[in-house]
Structure 1
Amino acid sequence: MADKEYREYRTGQGVPMTGEYLCQSGKKATLNEKEEFPACPVSNQETTWTHHD
């Protein structure tokens, strides 16, 4: 199933679907579809995010 694939998203990209995401520092955030991925909540720098089931 496509949404089970591992995919990384970067700060500033559009959120593809509402849900919980995990940043590179290990912090979870609930993000809504069509928002943009934020900076890391720990370092306040660009980061990568992955969807967390």
Structure 2
Amino acid sequence: MSNDTREFRTGQGVPQTGVYICQSGERVEIKENDVFPVCPTKGEETTWKQEKA
């Protein structure tokens, strides 16, 4: 499965360092082997997609 379209949930491991966008549209750089955080604006669980280069 390609990481280009894959969604990740709060608490999952980050597969590779990059900029990810949450459901609220916030962009965050997250490092490989970290875990996906809660939404930076709502403070709740969310889904993340990697920003395309």
* TM-score (norm. length: structure 2): 0.91
Q: Which is richer in helix?
A: 1
Q: Percent same amino acid among aligned pairs?
A: 49
Residues 36-47 of structure 1 mapped to structure 2, 5 A cutoff: 36-47=35-46
Which residue matches 1:24?
Answer: 23
- How far is 1:3 from its partner? 3.9
- Structure 2 unpaired stretches of 5+: none
* TM-score (norm. length: structure 1): 0.91
What's the C-alpha RMSD, in Å, of the aligned pairs? 0.9
After TM superposition, where is structure 1 displaced by more than 2 Å over at least 4 residues in a row? none
Number of residues of Structure 1 aligned to a counterpart in Structure 2:
51
* CA distance in 1 between partners of 2:16 and 2:36 (Å): 11
